[in-house]
Amino acid sequence: MQLFLKLSKTDSGVDAIAGIGIGIAASFLTGQLLRRYIAEVGPAEPLVFAGVPLLLGAVVIAATLLPVIGAIRADPMAAPRWE
């Protein structure tokens, strides 16, 4: 949770939260368009609308952390000589 709060204050965290928010709002609209294609579930199926932000949130966290981990591991002697 603490990690999440810290991440949410980073640039990529803000972008990700804004993107997921806009995406969810747009999904409610496209869900209405999908009505004729789906059966047995509503266009605002809670499981999907809760699961997708979690999934993409995890993707964003992974995408943010992997380069950071790479940077931390970099050899401090070699790094300044790059380029």
Partner 1 sequence: MNKLLRPFTRNLGFTITAVVVLALGIGANTAIFTAVRAVLLKPLPYNDPDRIVVVAETNKRGVRISVSGADFTDWKAQATSFDAIASYGNYSVPVVAGGSPERLNAAAVNTGWFTAMGAKPVLGRLFDPAEEKPNSEKTALISDGLWRRRFGADPKVLGAKLKLQGAMHIIVGVLPAGFRFPGKTDLWVPLGLFPDSSTRSAHNYRVISRLKSSVSAEQAQAEMTAIAARLAKQYPESNQDIGAAVVPLHTTLSENAKPTLYLLLAAVGFVLLIACANVGNLLLASGARRRTEFAIRAAIGASRTRLVRQLLGESITLAALGGVLGIALAWWSKDLIIALAPSEIPMLSESRIDWAAFAFGVAVSMATGVLFGLFPALQMSRTDLNDALKSSGNRAGVGGAGTRMRSVLVCVEIALSVVLVTGAGLAIRSLVELQNVSPGYDSLNVMVADMAVPAENDAGMRRSIRIYEEFLRRAESTPGVLAAGAVSTVPLSELGSSNGYFSREGQKQMDRSQSAGFHTASERLFPRSRYSAALRPNVH
Residue at token pair 């380029």 = 83
Rounded to a whole number of angstroms, the minimum distance from the CB of residue 3 to partner 1 is 19
Query: What number of H helices and E strands is found in the chain?
Result: 3, 0
**What values do phi and psi take at 40, rounded to 5?**
70, -10
Binding site for partner 1 (CB under 8 A): 11-12, 14-16, 18-20, 22-24, 26-27, 30-31, 34, 36-41, 43, 45, 47-49, 51-53, 55-56, 60, 83
Closer residue to partner 1 in complex, CB, 26/65 = 26
44 vs 78: CA distance, rounded Å: 52
Instruction: Find the shortest distance in angstroms from Cβ 51 to partner 1.
Output: 7
